[in-house]
Each structure stands twice: as C-alpha cells, then as structure tokens.
C-alpha cells in the first residue's frame, strides 16, 4: 500500500506522525472481518490514537472506538490508526505481534523511527517502501506548508484551497485551529489524517 507513504514533511515541520494500516487479503484470510477489526481497534485505542478509521467504518473524530467496532462492515477494505509518539507506535506493534491476529500490517513514518519501533517490538519488517519525492513541474504545486497538511490524505480529498481558507478563518477569529483541523479531517475517510499535527501546522500558518 502506498496511500500513507507520500506524506510531505518539511525540515521545520511536525515529526509526530505515524500511521498503522491493517488489511486482510481478499479471498485468503478475510474471514470474520468485523470481529477481527474489533480486536485491532481494541489494541489501537490503548495507545493514545489521534485517529482511527476506514471506509465503511467511520472516523474516531465522530465516534468512539467502541462505536467504530459496531460500524465496521465485512467489506471494509482496511483500517488505520494514527499516532503521535514513537513510544505509542512501539506499544501497538508489540501487542500486534503478541496477539498475531493474522492481517497484514503496514507502518508509515520516518524510516529511522519506524526501524527503532519495529526492533523494540521484536519485529523484522517484511519490506520497506520509499517515497522518491515529487517529480514533474513542481512550481505548480501549492506551498510546502500547505502540502504538509494536504498530503496527510493519501487520496487527495483535502485541497490546498480549503487549507488556505481554514488559515484565513483562524486569522479572522472565525474558527479555532482545532475546529479547522477537525473540519479538514472529515474528508479523509480512510482515517489516516493526523488532526493534532494539522492543528499545530494551521496554528503556525495563521501566525506567519
């Protein structure tokens, strides 16, 4: 999977961003999917998740973790959780290893951090995927501070224009940075958007 991979991070940006993706293999081990997703959610919620969610499941911003377990459908293709600290990520990975629930797990984050967490959790990664960056006519891209927010949705459901509007609303006192971050979270139905990181970045942009 790559839709969690291409998150742009500026050298001065926010480091607190780790995504855990859990996915069954269709026609291989996608049995008792709802019950098994529920087990994953029980693990996810123990370690201070910023976000949990997925298509045909919902988002933590609108539901409790227990409600997400009830909303999950067998046809939900995958489920995600987002964390701010490497310690929380390590805790999740260690428990996933111990429980061995059977679905594939992909972690996105800065490589050195992910390597440390997998090592501490007693795991040997199957493979590493690298983003080679952005190619093409880069001057047409939005400014890097906006991209650091928009690329947290791997399917490009959050536009740079909407982020710019949120910044203007914060400057005018129409919204708090938190409310703006929550509004940006909802279009990303996969649940990989980091609301806390967005709040920090929006605050930075509004103060610039």
Q: Please choose, from the candidates 2, 3, 13, 1, the residue with its C-alpha nearest in 3D space to the C-alpha of residue 149.
A: 13
Give me the pLDDT at residue 188, please.
96
Sequence ranges of the domains in the chain? 18-120, 140-207
In terms of Cβ atoms closer than 10 Å to its own Cβ (0-12, 13-18, 19+), residue 110 is: middle
How far apart are the two ends of the chain, measured CA to CA in Å?
A: 35
Where would I find the H helices in the chain?
33-44, 65-71, 86-99, 111-120, 144-150, 160-171, 177-185, 195-207
Give me the pLDDT at residue 1, please.
52
Query: What architecture does CATH give domain 18-120?
Result: 2-Layer Sandwich (3.30)
pTM: predicted TM-score of the whole model, two decimal places: 0.94
Give me the pLDDT at residue 132, please.
86
The angle, 0 to 180 degrees and rounded to 10, between the axes of the packed helices 160-171 and 195-207 is 60
Q: Please choose, from the candidates 158, 156, 206, 151, the residue with its C-alpha nearest in 3D space to the C-alpha of residue 184.
A: 158
Largest CA-CA distance found in the chain, in angstroms, rounded:
53
Contact 158, 193 (CB under 8 A): yes
Give me the pLDDT at residue 12, please.
74
CA angle 161, 165, 166 (to 5 degrees): 120
pLDDT tens digit string along 164-181?
999 999 999 999 999 999
Reading the block at residue 162, the tokens are 């909407």
Listed as ranges, residues in the chain with pLDDT below 50 are none
In terms of Cβ atoms closer than 10 Å to its own Cβ (0-12, 13-18, 19+), residue 98 is: exposed
């Amino acid at each position: 999977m790559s839709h969690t991979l291409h998150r742009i991070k500026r050298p001065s940006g926010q480091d607190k961003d780790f995504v855990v993706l859990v996915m069954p293999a269709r026609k291989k081990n996608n049995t008792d999917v709802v019950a098994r997703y529920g087990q994953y959610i029980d693990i996810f919620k123990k370690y201070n998740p910023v976000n949990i969610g997925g298509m045909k499941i919902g988002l933590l911003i609108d539901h409790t973790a227990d409600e997400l377990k009830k909303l999950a459908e067998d046809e939900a293709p995958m489920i995600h959780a987002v964390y701010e600290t490497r310690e929380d990520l390590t805790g999740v990975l260690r428990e996933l290893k111990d429980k061995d629930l059977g679905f594939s797990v992909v972690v996105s984050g800065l490589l050195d951090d992910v390597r440390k967490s997998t090592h501490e959790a007693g795991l040997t990664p199957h493979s590493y995927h690298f983003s080679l960056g952005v190619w093409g006519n880069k001057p047409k891209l939005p400014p890097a501070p906006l991209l650091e927010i928009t690329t947290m949705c791997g399917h490009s459901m959050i536009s740079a224009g909407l982020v710019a509007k949120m910044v203007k609303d914060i400057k005018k006192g129409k919204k708090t940075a938190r409310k703006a971050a929550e509004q940006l979270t909802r279009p990303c139905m996969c649940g990989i958007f980091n609301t806390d990181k967005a709040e920090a970045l929006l605050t930075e942009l509004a103060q610039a």
